[in-house]
Structure 1
Amino acid sequence: MKSRAFVPEKLDLAAFAHDGASLQGEWPAASLERLAESAAPEAPASGWPALSWSLHGEIRQPKAAAVQTWLHVTASAQVAQTCQRCLKPVQETVDVDRWIRFVDTEAEAAALDADSDDDVLALPRHLDARELIEDELLLALPLVPRHEHCPEPLAHADEVGDAAPEERPNPFAALAALKRKGD
Structure 2
Amino acid sequence: MSQPTPDAADRHAWIDVDALTRRSEPLAGSFALTRLARVLAGAPELPGVAQGIIHWQVRAEWRDPSPAVAAAEYALAGGRRVAAPRQLWLHLWVEGAIPLVCQRCLEPYWQPLTVDRWFRFVPDEATAEAQDQGCEEDLLVLDGPRYHLLGLVEEELVLAAPLVPRHDVCPRPIPLAAGDALGAAAPDDAPAASQRPNPFGALAALKSGRV
* TM-score interval, normalised by the smaller of the two chains: 0.7 to 0.9
Give distance in 1, aligned partners of 2:23 and 2:85: 17
Q: Write the mapping of 1:127-146 to structure 2, written as runs, cut at 5 A.
A: 127-146=147-166
RMSD between superposed Cα atoms in Å: 2.8
Question: Does 1:75 find its partner at 2:78?
Answer: no
Of 26, 32, 36, the residue aligned with 2:36 is 32
AA aligned to 1:79 is I
Aligned to 1:106: 125
Aligned to 1:115: 134
Compare the two structures and name the one with the higher helix fraction: 1
Secondary structure of the residue that 1:111 maps to in structure 2? helix
Q: Which stretches in structure 2 are left out of the alignment for 5+ residues?
A: 1-10, 71-82, 191-211
- Matched residue pairs, number? 160
Give distance in 1, aligned partners of 2:84 and 2:122: 13
Q: Write the mapping of 1:1-183 to structure 2, written as runs, cut at 5 A.
A: 8-13=12-17, 15-20=18-23, 22-43=26-47, 45-48=49-52, 50-62=53-65, 64-125=83-144, 126-155=146-175, 157-158=176-177, 165=187
Length-normalised TM-score, structure 1: 0.74
AA aligned to 2:168 is E
Deviation at 1:29? 1.3
Q: Which stretches in structure 1 are left out of the alignment for 5+ residues?
A: 1-6, 169-183
CA contact (8 A) 1:90 1:145 kept: no
Give distance in 2, aligned partners of 1:73 and 1:98: 5
Aligned to 2:202: none
Cα 1:128–1:167, aligned 2, differ >3 Å: closer, same or farther?
farther
Listed one character per residue, the Cα deviations across residues 15-43 of structure 1 (whole Å, up to 9, x for unaligned) are: 23542463211122122111122532345
Deviation at 1:142? 0.7
Percent of residue pairs identical:
35
Listed one character per residue, the Cα deviations across residues 81-121 of structure 1 (whole Å, up to 9, x for unaligned) are: 11001011233210001111011121211222221111012
